[in-house]
């Protein structure tokens, strides 16, 4: 009896060792990303569109940083088939990079390391509304990550989450971006850099009329919240694409622009169609359990990522179905 069980165990072990993983990871499949015209393209110069979640502000004490761990990243890859995740690293005071730099860097690294292990892309977002006030802090942050990870195709730098409505593109945001891009490019010559745009990253038309020149692999941030933003913002985005700049939707919500309210399914469907049509990559706000409409998780969802569908909110379930169904490529690691 004992011998029989042992041979069964040995046989099972041999079997699992000999089974190859048939699916490539996203990064094995697409490799180094680049910008070609108004598209983000893969290593074969083919347009690529990636879908995944954005984590919530990483600030210490805000309650969402518990999800900055490998278990959560693994869950998102294995259960949602997501090839990309965004780390929203709080830039300011009050638990962010200006007052708690080491802690926030450690959280960012936990997500980046896990994403690299899973073969996922990871957006490193300087999550700020006044980044121009502290460019040196942003530069130090991105220099650190460019040195440590710039040779990996996984990393995408997002240098300014959402400039406000009265922060001028031409005189404030663009000069800030040029400074940041110069610093990153001195270390990492090629990974994508995503540039925030005026009015909470909606005025991509202004960026398209006065784009950053002299650097390659630059794209621009478009944010929308389906409950608030409709055809008017898509028109702006279409104008920007038609003018020839590449966009990435590094943050979007199914609800209102304040992050709360009901899921607007009809408007979300229109945006999903727009992003499909234009091959845009995107990250949904937010993988968090705060009690508000945009949260994907119900309050007190565990920090270990072993969630059932019962742990997901209405927005979370909806977004899971969008992300899981986005790509025709299976990155789940088995078939």
* Shortest spacing between CB 292 and Mg ion, in angstroms: 36
Q: How many CB atoms lie within 10 A of CB 117?
A: 14
* Shortest spacing between CB 150 and Mg ion, in angstroms: 4
**Nearer to Mg ion among residue 61 and residue 189 (C-beta):** 189
Annotated catalytic residue: which of 132, 158, 162, 292? 162
From candidates 191, 221, 281, 288, binder to Mg ion by CB under 5 A:
191
CA–CA gap between residue 205 and residue 179 (Å, rounded): 21
Stretch that binds Mg ion, among 54-62, 104-112, 180-188, 265-273 (CB under 5 A): 180-188
Output the DSSP codes for 207-226. HHHS---S-SSEEEEEEEET
From candidates 188, 203, 289, 292, binder to Mg ion by CB under 5 A:
188
* Shortest spacing between CB 149 and Mg ion, in angstroms: 8
**Nearer to Mg ion among residue 216 and residue 321 (C-beta):** 216
Determine, following the binding rule CB under 5 A, whether residue 150 of this chain makes contact with Mg ion.
yes
Query: The tokens of 14 are what?
Result: 């041999």
* Shortest spacing between CB 281 and Mg ion, in angstroms: 18
Stretch that binds Mg ion, among 137-145, 181-189, 201-209, 253-261 (CB under 5 A): 181-189
Residues in 88-117 that interact with Mg ion by CB under 5 A: none
**Nearer to Mg ion among residue 58 and residue 191 (C-beta):** 191
**Nearer to Mg ion among residue 32 and residue 79 (C-beta):** 32
Determine, following the binding rule CB under 5 A, whether residue 190 of this chain makes contact with Mg ion.
yes
Determine whether 251 is an active site residue. Answer: yes
| Angle in degrees, CA 113, 115, 121, rounded to 5 | 125
* Shortest spacing between CB 215 and Mg ion, in angstroms: 13
If we measure between CA atoms, which residue out of 277, 271, 261, 247 comes closest to residue 319? Answer: 271
Stretch that binds Mg ion, among 11-19, 92-100, 174-182, 191-199 (CB under 5 A): 191-199
Output the DSSP codes for 218-287. EEEEEEEETTT--HHHHHHHHHHHHHT--EEEEEEESS-TTS-S---HHHHHHHHHHHHHTT--EEEEEE
**Nearer to Mg ion among residue 96 and residue 150 (C-beta):** 150
DSSP state of 93: S
DSSP state of 24: P
Annotated catalytic residue: which of 132, 251, 292, 328? 251
Exposure string over 132-155, b if 16+ CB within 10 A, otherwise e:
bebbebbbebbbebbeebbebbbb
Distance (Å) of CA 304 to CA 73, 75, 307: 10, 9, 8
Determine whether 232 is an active site residue. Answer: no
> Which positions lie near Mg ion, rule CB under 5 A?
150, 188, 190-191
Q: Which residues carry out catalysis?
A: 162, 251
């Amino acid at each position: 009896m004992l011998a029989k069980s042992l041979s069964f165990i040995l046989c099972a072990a041999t079997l699992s060792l000999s089974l190859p993983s048939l699916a490539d990871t996203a990064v094995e499949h697409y490799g180094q990303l680049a910008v070609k015209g108004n598209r983000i393209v893969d290593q074969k110069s083919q347009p690529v569109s990636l879908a995944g979640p954005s984590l919530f502000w990483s600030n210490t004490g805000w309650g969402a940083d518990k999800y900055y761990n490998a278990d959560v990243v693994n869950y998102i890859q294995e259960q949602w088939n997501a090839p990309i995740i965004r780390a929203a690293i709080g830039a300011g005071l009050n638990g962010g990079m200006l007052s708690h730099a080491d802690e926030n860097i450690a959280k960012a690294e936990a997500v980046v390391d896990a994403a690299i292990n899973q073969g996922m892309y990871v957006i490193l977002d300087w999550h700020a509304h006044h980044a121009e006030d502290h460019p040196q802090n942003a530069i130090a942050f991105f220099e650190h990550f460019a040195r440590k990870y710039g040779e990996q195709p996984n990393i995408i730098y997002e240098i300014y989450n959402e400039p406000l409505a009265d922060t001028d593109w031409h005189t404030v945001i663009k000069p800030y971006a040029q400074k940041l891009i110069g610093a990153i490019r001195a270390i990492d010559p090629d990974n994508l850099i995503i540039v925030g745009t005026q009015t909470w990253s909606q005025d991509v038309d202004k960026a398209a009329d006065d784009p950053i020149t002299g650097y390659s692999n630059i794209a621009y941030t478009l944010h929308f919240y389906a409950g608030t933003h409709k055809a008017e913002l898509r028109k702006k985005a279409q104008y920007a694409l038609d003018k020839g700049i590449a966009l990435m939707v590094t943050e979007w919500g199914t609800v209102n622009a304040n992050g709360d309210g009901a899921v607007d399914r009809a408007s979300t469907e229109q945006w999903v169609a727009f992003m499909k049509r234009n091959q845009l990559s995107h990250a949904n706000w937010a993988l968090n359990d705060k009690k508000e409409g945009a949260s994907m998780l119900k309050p007190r969802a565990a920090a270990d990522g072993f969630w059932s569908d019962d742990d997901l909110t209405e927005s979370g379930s909806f977004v899971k179905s969008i992300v899981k169904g986005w790509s025709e490529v299976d990155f789940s690691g088995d078939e």
